[in-house]
Amino acid sequence: MPGNLTFDALKSLVSNGEIDTVLTCIVDMQGRLMGKRFHARHFVDSAYHETHCCNYLLATDLEMYTVEGFAATSWSGGYGDYVMKPDLSTLRLVPWLEGTAMVMCDVLDHHTHKDVPHSPRAMLKSQVARMAELGLTPIMATELEFFLFEKSFDDMRKGGFRDLEPISGYNEDYHILQTTKEEDVLRPVRNGLYEAGIPVENTKGEAETGQEELNIKYAPALDTAEYHTISKNAVKEIAWAKGRSVSFLAKWRSDKVGSSAHIHQSVFDKDGNNVFCDPDGEYGMSDTMRHYMAGLIKYAPDYTYFLAPYINSYKRFQKGTFAPTKTVWSVDNRTAGFRLCGEGTKALRVECRIGGSDLNPYLALAAQIAAGLRGIEEKLPLDPPAKGDVYEASDAKEIPQTLREARETMLKSSFLREVFSDAVIDHYGRAAEWEVEEFDRAVTDYEIARGFERA
């Protein structure tokens, strides 16, 4: 894990007073950074070995509510501790926070000191290890989209999240003039992340009012998940510091396009060669790539929950919005669930377009690698690419249309249970079930406006 700060360098920075705070962070089920702020001297003296957190952190919802029904932890179990084990190879500076460094932690069982199986970081590490047994490394990148708003988070909250005004008044896709107006936020995002050791490529306007996209260079899968998570947190912190707010909701308004987190992926061998490439293969694709892609497509319904974890996530899947509705592949075609990119070049890769910006990258990447590996193991054949407007392809398999459907498909998946274990899949099944239960209890503005007088 390439941070940009060695432990010895951190100790020097602490000694000369440049660093006084170290963030120790785990990733929760929602893909958020959770943890503690250590006085830097205490961290370098002793806390770098390990610290602790409540085990409810991997059994809550977005509201941090203590959800009942999880086997891993509960009120009856007393909500004990997990060990947070700093991975010192992930140490990095946090330039947008004064005097601060951070480190990512593995989540370990307090008694056995083994990885907690349903920890998102552990789930991804397990699939990377499976790939390594074949002498292969998954190389991935995520495109991260979000909306930037005029008002601050506090103003939005105090106003009941009404009167949400994006920072621009028109579609700003690739628009230089409009994005110039947003540089007070996005310039420190790019520069801060780069100084933190995250290889940012660019930001750009996306295809809606106030919509932005952040692109980070491809990297080994675990690095990619780390980059994504830290960047998402950084965007929120920097926007907050500038009096703005951002949203990573997959669909914040019915008449606006949603925000995605497209996942690009290829596989490299020990010599650094892209094993997806075969100059003699159709479109430059090797048999390995064809099997991998066939696995992605066959098992896409099984793992859709890991790409779309909330009720709101499924509002994004609408025709004519660049969000896919079908689990097929096509060549450089943005209407398909999977897009072949870099045809005939060394940059050949597949892009999964299903995931929204609300996904947990560790879970999403783990599921993608697992499905691709299963395709290689089963030597699955790849169907011919779809052509034209895939939204209108009546014979193409649909992406699950609701969280209920995605949850049921996940729970019934023998593939996912074999790869991640019954306990892990049941754990996330309960998380999905809770989201459905909470939504079913809610009375929405839509219901009031539609039926207050006329019902």
Q: Are residues 79 and 203 in the same domain?
A: no
Residues 6+ away with beta carbon under 8 Å from 240: 152, 153
pLDDT of 455 above 80: yes
For 115, 119, 141, 275, 368, the CA distances from 125, given in Å and listed in that order, are: 10, 10, 16, 21, 13
Q: What is the pLDDT of residue 394?
A: 72
Q: Are residues 101 and 178 in the same domain?
A: no
Q: What's the mean pLDDT in 219-237?
A: 98
CATH assignment of the domain containing 381: 3.30.590.10
Q: What is the pLDDT of residue 323?
A: 81
Q: Are residues 398 and 431 in the same domain?
A: yes
Least confident range of 13-17, 190-194, 382-386, 414-418: 382-386
Q: What's the mean pLDDT in 63-83?
A: 92
pLDDT digit string (tens) for 327-352? 888 887 788 889 999 888 889 999 99
Residue 396 DSSP symbol? S
What does 123-177 look like in DSSP terms, one character per residue?
HHHHHHHHHHTTTEEEEEEEEEEEEEESS-HHHHHHTTT-S--BS-SSB-TT-HH
Q: Are residues 200 and 95 in the same domain?
A: no
CATH assignment of the domain containing 28: 3.10.20.70
Q: How many residues does the chain have?
A: 455
Q: Are residues 324 and 386 in the same domain?
A: yes
Residues forming beta bridges with residue 148, ordered by sequence position: 246
Q: What is the pLDDT of residue 26?
A: 98
Question: Which pair of structure tokens corresponds to residue 48?
Answer: 């770098």
Judging by beta carbons within 10 Å of its beta carbon (0-12, 13-18, 19+), is residue 142 exposed, middle or buried? buried
Q: Are residues 211 and 73 in the same domain?
A: no
Q: Are residues 82 and 164 in the same domain?
A: no
| 228 in Cβ contact with 237 (< 8 Å) | no
CA atoms within a 13 Å half-sphere pointing along the CA-CB vector of 279: 2
Q: What is the pLDDT of residue 116?
A: 97
Percent of the chain with pLDDT over 70: 100
322/402: higher pLDDT: 402
Q: What's the mean pLDDT in 165-179?
A: 91
Phi, psi of 37 (to 5 degrees): -105, 110
pLDDT of 397 above 90: no
Q: What is the pLDDT of residue 332?
A: 78
- Report yes or no on 385 lying in a domain: yes
Q: Are residues 329 and 433 in the same domain?
A: yes
pLDDT of 73 above 80: yes
pLDDT digit string (tens) for 284-315? 999 999 999 999 999 999 999 999 999 999 99
| 216 in Cβ contact with 228 (< 8 Å) | yes
Q: What's the mean pLDDT in 387-391?
A: 79
- Report yes or no on 121 lying in a domain: no
324/58: higher pLDDT: 58
Overall number of domains in the chain? 2
Q: What is the pLDDT of residue 1?
A: 53
Q: What's the mean pLDDT in 178-198?
A: 95
pLDDT of 200 above 70: yes
pLDDT of 381 above 60: yes
Residue 29 DSSP symbol? T
Say how far apart CA 40 and CA 80 lie, in whole Å.
26
Say how far apart CA 342 and CA 283 lie, in whole Å.
9
- Report yes or no on 120 lying in a domain: no
Say how far apart CA 60 and CA 88 lie, in whole Å.
27
Residues 6+ away with beta carbon under 8 Å from 454: none
Say how far apart CA 29 and CA 117 lie, in whole Å.
12
Give the structural domain span for 13.
7-115
Average of per-residue pLDDT values in the chain: 94
Interhelix angle 183-195/221-241, rounded to 10 degrees, is 140
